[in-house]
Amino acid sequence: MSASLSPQDAAAVARRALPLLDLTDLSDAATAAAADDLCGKARASGVVAVCVWPDFVAGCARALRDSGVRVATVINFPQGGDDVARSVADTRATLADGADEIDLVLPYRALMRGEEEGARAMVAAVREACAGRLLKVILETGELESPALIARASRLSLEAGADFIKTSTGKTPVSATLPAAEIMLNTIRACTEHPAGLKVSGGLRRVEDAGAYLALADRAMGPDWVSPSTFRIGASALHAELVRALEAAP
Give the active site residue among 25, 103, 163, 209. Answer: 103
d(CA 64, CA 69) in angstroms, rounded, equals 6
Q: Which of 90, 100, 166, 209 is catalytic?
A: 166
Q: Is 166 a catalytic residue?
A: yes
Q: Is 171 a catalytic residue?
A: no
Q: Report the catalytic residues.
A: 103, 166, 199
